[in-house]
């Protein structure tokens, strides 16, 4: 099968709207969490989130066009535009035949949930006469981000969306990776976006007892593995990767960040929202990714854990990791402690982090975690408080979603 490399990155996040700003803040251990400004959350059990800040869609989209797109699509456009520019690819001057070989796979768990809420609110506040925006449906549907990216760049290759809750964008990246490996495309724009800091989303996760309610200390609320963790912090944004067939990338002199070498997907088959305590789905996904990459567990230097800061979720994942890695001293950190949980966009921005970890030999830390839950098995090499500079040759990126979906990707340092 063909080898696949990463040649471009893009990011719109709670910690910055460019890859460099995002990465600098991740390495510095900063938090992107603050009070919710997108709606009045004063009566909600949780009134904080990890919002994208100072985002101006008109930097990427014509002013007259912005209203056609939900925020999750605006984020997707921005992140994919950044990644394409970063890759040095010139789609505008690429032949039509070559653009047949370029595709898009984009993940999201909620799509245009903000648009959906607003349209129903406007309808119910009216006199019952159905007056809906003509862009309502195309703004709302999850596949539209992938469609818009292809339309803007005239890309005619495989084009679709993946929906596997919080594993959505990691699933998209794995699918794009497989598409190139199998020779069905030469280049894929892959990633995911989410813009679900809305009343129904926050209220729904509150009702499910999933969100942290630490309103007194929002920046310290996401504390994976800590005995005092009380739920995740909802976030938003987008991450994008340009995946490219190696020979094509080398021939055009592309800058190569890392090589993608494996992807594994499985299912907990356990519960609507819960993770099995033994971590079966996690261990299956990781094992499949390792087998796909053709490597043994001892090769992995760093695991970017899904670790959302929920009681059962963190322990289930760690038990799954223990099944695969045993007592190997692989470094583990949870960058959601800084970014919050981007839901369907989480796997994409964590893939950006994983790629940059390999490229720069830096392992970002978990912030906020002070007292490891005694229910967590001993022997894990948690990176806490401060980023660590050390050789990073292989990284595992874990993501899990409601419904039992698991997706694990593996990136390695590129060598010719």
Is the separation of the CB atoms in 157 and 333 below 8 Å? no
Dihedral sign of CA atoms 171, 177, 183, 184 in order: positive
The Cα 313–Cα 400 span in angstroms is 9
Closest residue by Cα to residue 351 from 142, 191, 160 = 191
Is the separation of the CB atoms in 352 and 330 below 8 Å? no
* Other beta carbons within 10 Å of 153: 19
**Proportion of the chain in helix, strand, coil states, percent, rounded to 5:** 35, 20, 40
The Cα 161–Cα 342 span in angstroms is 17
* Other beta carbons within 10 Å of 69: 22
| Catalytic residue list contains 282 | no
Q: Helices 71-87 and 144-153 sit at what angle, rounded to 10 degrees?
A: 40
Is the separation of the CB atoms in 186 and 102 below 8 Å? yes
* Other beta carbons within 10 Å of 66: 15
Phi and psi dihedrals of 150, rounded to 5?
-70, -40
282 half-sphere exposure, CB direction, 13 A CA radius: 29
Is the separation of the CB atoms in 189 and 145 below 8 Å? no
Give the ranges where 133-279 is alpha helix by DSSP (H).
Answer: 136-140, 144-153, 168-181, 199-207, 246-251
From residue 80, give the alpha-carbon distance in Å to each of 105, 237, 241, 283.
Answer: 11, 12, 8, 31
From the list 19, 79, 142, 166, the catalytic residue is 166
The Cα 217–Cα 199 span in angstroms is 21
Helix (H, G, I), strand (E, B) or coil at 374: coil
Is the separation of the CB atoms in 31 and 367 below 8 Å? yes
* Other beta carbons within 10 Å of 391: 9
Catalytic annotation, residues: 166
């Amino acid at each position: 099968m063909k080898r696949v490399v990463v040649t471009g990155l893009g990011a719109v996040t709670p910690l910055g709207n460019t890859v460099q700003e995002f990465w600098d803040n991740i390495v510095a251990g900063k938090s992107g969490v603050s009070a919710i400004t997108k709606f009045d959350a004063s009566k909600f059990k949780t009134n904080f989130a990890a919002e994208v800040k100072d985002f101006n869609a008109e930097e990427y989209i014509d002013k007259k066009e912005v209203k056609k797109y939900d925020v999750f699509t605006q984020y997707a456009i921005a992140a994919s535009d950044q990644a394409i520019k970063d890759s040095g690819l010139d789609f505008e001057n690429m032949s039509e035949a070559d653009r047949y070989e370029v595709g898009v796979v984009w993940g999201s768990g909620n799509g245009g949930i903000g648009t959906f809420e607003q349209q129903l609110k406007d309808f119910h506040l009216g006199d019952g006469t159905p007056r809906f925006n003509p862009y309502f449906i195309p703004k709302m549907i999850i596949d539209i981000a992938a469609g818009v990216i292809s339309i803007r760049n005239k890309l005619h290759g495989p084009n679709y969306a993946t929906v596997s809750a919080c594993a959505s964008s990691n699933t998209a990246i794995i699918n794009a990776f497989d598409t190139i490996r199998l020779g069905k495309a030469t280049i894929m724009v892959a990633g995911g976006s989410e813009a679900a800091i809305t009343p129904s989303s926050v209220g729904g996760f509150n009702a499910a007892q999933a969100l942290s309610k630490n309103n007194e200390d929002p920046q310290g609320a996401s504390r994976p593995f800590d005995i005092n963790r009380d739920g995740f912090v909802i976030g938003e944004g987008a991450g994008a990767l340009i995946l490219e067939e190696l020979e094509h990338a080398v021939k055009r002199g592309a800058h190569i960040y890392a090589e993608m070498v494996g992807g594994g997907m499985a299912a907990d088959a356990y519960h609507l929202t819960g993770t099995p305590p033994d971590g079966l789905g996690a261990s299956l996904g990781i094992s499949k990714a390792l087998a796909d990459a053709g490597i043994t567990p001892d090769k992995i230097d760093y695991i970017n854990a899904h670790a959302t800061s929920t009681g059962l979720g963190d322990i289930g994942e760690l038990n799954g990791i223990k099944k695969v890695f045993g007592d190997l001293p692989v470094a583990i950190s949870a960058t959601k402690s800084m970014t919050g949980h981007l839901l369907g966009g989480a796997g994409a921005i964590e893939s950006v982090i994983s790629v940059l970890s390999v490229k720069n030999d830096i392992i970002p830390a978990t912030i906020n975690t002070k007292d490891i839950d005694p229910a967590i098995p001993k022997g894990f090499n948690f990176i806490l408080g401060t980023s660590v500079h050390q050789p990073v040759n292989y990284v595992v990126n874990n993501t899990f979603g409601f419904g039992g979906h698991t997706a694990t990707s593996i990136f390695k340092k590129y060598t010719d």
